Amino acid sequence: MKYTFTIFLLLVFKAGFSQKVEKTKLYIIGTVHESSEILNPKMLFDILDVIKPDILLQENDTEQIANYFKEIRPNSNEQGASLLYLKKYPKTLNLPFEFEGRNGYRKENGMTPTDNLTVKLLDSLYQKKALDRNNIAIYEKYLDANQALLGFMKRDFKSLNSIEFETLNRYRQNIQHHELPKITNSEELFAKRFVVKPNGEKISYRLGYQLWCNFWDMRNNTMALNIVKTANVHKGKTIVILTGVQHKYYIKELLEKYYDGNYELVDYFK
């Protein structure tokens, strides 16, 4: 009887082990969107061909993915590399993980073009020495961080995916989205300049820029949750996430925050 019970336990253990599904492997590749000396579609394809993912996750929404083979962008690293990979491995899934309707959402809510107009005005006021001392200090931190990031563009693609870059980029993005609004909220001119939204309403540079900064957090959270959802639907698969390099640090942090035990992050560049 004891022998029979032992055999039964071994069979149960073996059955449970055989049914265990491996964790989904998530590779996050931080890209630059336009082809350049540091990255081109063939270089990115070669990386994909080494990883051999079952799924490509694109920084696109469902509408953009539906038109992926129709609206060709010749200089797009992600699209060019993906089309080469999908041609070689036609069973690969090509899926979106972007905030749905991102561009329209920003435009309808007045986040664009107030984002660019605000930064241009900020720079103009700085050049004219029209900002107060505290605001000058904030803006100069922003300029210095931008200059440091540009230095990475003279290195190589691996450097853009390094911890060193992520650390610097996190610092720069924090200034852009959380410190520059301190300037726009304290300088009255940003409350007196307006753009007109598609619905005809006016919105100030101050409010539009603040909304744009808030959207940075909302967008990255949405993208991370979409990735988690895909990882759970396609358990045990290998997924490559192609995202702009400035998002990489944020998405990594959020995937660690939302970790549910069903996936593992794999660093291709180590």
Judged by phi (left if over 0) then psi (alpha if -120 to 50, else beta), residue 25 lies in beta
Task: Please say whether the beta carbons of 125 and 180 come within 8 A.
Answer: no
- The yes-or-no verdict on residue 13 having pLDDT over 80 is no
Provide the pLDDT confidence category of residue 18 given band limits of 50, 70 and 90: very low
What would the pLDDT profile of 216-231 be if each residue is shown by its tens digit? 999 999 999 999 999 9
Percent of residues, the chain, with pLDDT higher than 70: 92
pLDDT attached to residue 154: 87
What would the pLDDT profile of 170-194 be if each residue is shown by its tens digit? 999 999 999 999 999 999 999 999 9
Q: How many CA atoms lie within 13 A of 20 on its CB side?
A: 10
- The yes-or-no verdict on residue 12 having pLDDT over 60 is no
What would the DSSP string read from start to end of the chain? -HHHHHHHHHHHHHHHHHTPPPPEEEEEEEE-SB--SS--HHHHHHHHHHH--SEEEESS-HHHHHTTTTS--TTBHHHHHHHHHHHHSTT-EEEE-SPTTHHHHHHHTT-TTHHHHHHHHHHHHHHTT-S-HHHHHHHHHHHHHHHHHHHHTTS-HHHHTSHHHHHHHHHHHHIIIIIHHHHHHH-THHHH-EEE-TTS-EEEHHHHHHHHHHHHHHHHHHHHHHHHHHHHHTTT-EEEEEEEHHHHHHHHHHHHHT--SSEEEE-TT-
pLDDT attached to residue 251: 98
- The yes-or-no verdict on residue 20 having pLDDT over 80 is no
Contacts of 196 (CB under 8 A, 6+ apart): 202, 203
pLDDT attached to residue 3: 53
Task: Please say whether the beta carbons of 172 and 138 come within 8 A.
Answer: no
Euclidean distance between CA atoms 241 and 26, whole angstroms: 7
- Among 174, 217, 210, which residue's Cα sits nearest to residue 191? 210
pTM recorded for the entire structure: 0.90
What would the pLDDT profile of 131-166 be if each residue is shown by its tens digit? 999 999 999 999 999 999 999 988 999 999 999 999
Provide the pLDDT confidence category of residue 270 given band limits of 50, 70 and 90: confident
Euclidean distance between CA atoms 121 and 189, whole angstroms: 9
What would the DSSP string read from start to end of 197-249? -TTS-EEEHHHHHHHHHHHHHHHHHHHHHHHHHHHHHTTT-EEEEEEEHHHHH
pLDDT attached to residue 185: 97
pLDDT attached to residue 17: 46
Provide the pLDDT confidence category of residue 105 given band limits of 50, 70 and 90: very high
What would the pLDDT profile of 109-128 be if each residue is shown by its tens digit? 999 999 999 999 999 999 99
Match 């990489």 to its residue by tokens.
248
pLDDT attached to residue 182: 98
SS (H, E, C) 238-266: EEEEEEEHHHHHHHHHHHHHCCCCCEEEE
pLDDT attached to residue 211: 98
- Average pLDDT, integer, range 83-92: 98
What would the pLDDT profile of 230-261 be if each residue is shown by its tens digit? 999 999 999 999 999 999 999 999 999 999 99
Euclidean distance between CA atoms 216 and 73, whole angstroms: 25
Average pLDDT of the chain is 93
